Amino acid sequence: MSWVKGEMGKMKGEEARCSRLRGAEAIKKGNSGFTAVELMVVIVVLGILMAIAAPKVTGTIDQAKVKACDANRLMLQNAVDRYAVDHMDASGNYAYPQSLSDLVGKYIEALPKCPVTGNDYTYENHTVTCNHSSQ
């Protein structure tokens, strides 16, 4: 009985060795790798995934630009209000800046541009606006 088990184990080892040799022979002959069809399928699947994901990514980027514009506008408006409080006269009247450039230095480091349009923010009647923001 032990002889049979030994022979069976020996056969499994020889079969494994033969299959490894067949694999090695296939590599030497250049039969390994992907076929053109397999590569085309992968490329098509990746293209479909990109077609699905691209609009979502661009929509998210546009939303982020609008939110950044709103945040910049609010920051500028807060700087205008701080300027007015700091320059209040003795009778309690607020002195607002003549332009947004008056804020540069003490209240803001630099004047931002709208991330959506690339234009400057508008300052009229003590209010900072942008042509597309929700305000």
| Domain membership flag for residue 67 | yes
The parent domain of residue 88 ranges over 58-129
| Domain membership flag for residue 75 | yes
Q: pLDDT tens across 39-85, in order?
A: 999 999 999 998 888 877 777 888 899 999 999 999 999 999 999 99
Cα 12 to Cα 61: distance, rounded to the nearest angstrom: 60
Q: What is the pLDDT of residue 77?
A: 95
| Domain membership flag for residue 31 | no
The H or E element spanning position 50 is helix 36-86
| Domain membership flag for residue 107 | yes
| Domain membership flag for residue 44 | no
Q: What is the 3-state secondary structure (H, E, C) of 70-103?
A: HHHHHHHHHHHHHHHHHCCCCCCCCCCCCCHHHH
pTM of the model: 0.59
More confident site: 71 or 2: 71
Cα 33 to Cα 17: distance, rounded to the nearest angstrom: 22
Q: pLDDT tens across 82-104, in order?
A: 999 999 888 889 999 999 999 99
Q: What is the pLDDT of residue 54?
A: 81
Q: Is the pLDDT reported for residue 38 higher than 70?
A: yes
Q: Could you give the number of structural domains in the chain?
A: 1
